[in-house]
Chain A
Amino acid sequence: AQSVTQPDIHITVSEGASLELRCNYSYGATPYLFWYVQSPGQGLQLLLKYFSGDTLVQGIKGFEAEFKRSQSSFNLRKPSVHWSDAAEYFCAVVVSNTGKLIFGQGTTLQVKP
């Protein structure tokens, strides 16, 4: 069955430190993969997406993600975290030509001053 797993429910990093959020997916075909961010009480905003080509994709707010087919992973990274990055992050995969997304459970990021 198609699924997305975010192994880390909660992560705390210090401001200025690097960040990596993990995402593993289970899907037979070439996936369309996404990372979304949700600030408290808000909707979800698209950070970046992968659908083909270069496996390292750049997104907004200084985020990047790397698609690794051999590991079925699409981890999100940022070299230096800012306090405003504190939010919940969701990885998702498209599972059909109707655009349906399956989301991971989410990772809550806390940033220490």
Chain B
Amino acid sequence: NAGVTQTPKFRILKIGQSMTLQCTQDMNHNYMYWYRQDPGMGLKLIYYSVGAGITDKGEVPNGYNVSRSTTEDFPLRLELAAPSQTSVYFCASIPGEGPYGYTFGSGTRLTVV
């Protein structure tokens, strides 16, 4: 099993550009999450989903959008990129409600210039 796969691994965007960060899992997990990691700040939740067709905002959703049309995929969309969105983005998943540890993807390092 591949687990949680994120693409791309690195990306440089210009201010105002848009892009989609891809996240796919092959474990049939219902719950999926997007976090951003900034130095000294830990990880902050951007958006999450508890199943296909269901998404909700996390702690820092401004400037981002998500969709969940299938169980496997949970893409994160950045519209009008800003320097404040320079960060490392992690996607994660768990089977559902319960004391499960996240399975994380390897991350996408995004720089906005």
Contact = CB atoms under 8 A, between A and B. Distances in A.
Interface stretch (A14-22, A70-78, A79-87, A102-110): A102-110
A106 B35 CA distance: 15
Contacts, number: 61
Name the interface size band of chain B.
20 to 34
A101 interface: yes
B40 interface: yes
B97 A97 contact: yes
Contacts of B97: 97-99
A40 to B, nearest CB: 11
B26 to A, nearest CB: 16
Interface string A40-62: 00111110010110000000000
B74 interface: no
B81 interface: no
Contact of B104 (A43, A49, A99, A104): A43
Given A9-B40, A105-B40, A43 B107 contact: yes
B42 A105 contact: yes
B42 A99 contact: no
Nearest to B31: A99
Interface residues of A, number: 24
Contact of A49 (B41, B42, B101): B101
A51 B99 contact: yes
A76 to B, nearest CB: 14
A103 B37 CA distance: 10
Interface of A: 4, 9, 32, 34, 36, 42-46, 49, 51-52, 90, 94, 97-101, 103-106
Interface of B: 31, 33, 35, 40-45, 48, 50, 56, 58, 90, 92, 94, 96-102, 104-107
- Rank and list the top 6 A-B pairs by shortest CB-CB distance, nearest first: A51-B99, A46-B101, A103-B42, A43-B104, A103-B43, A43-B106
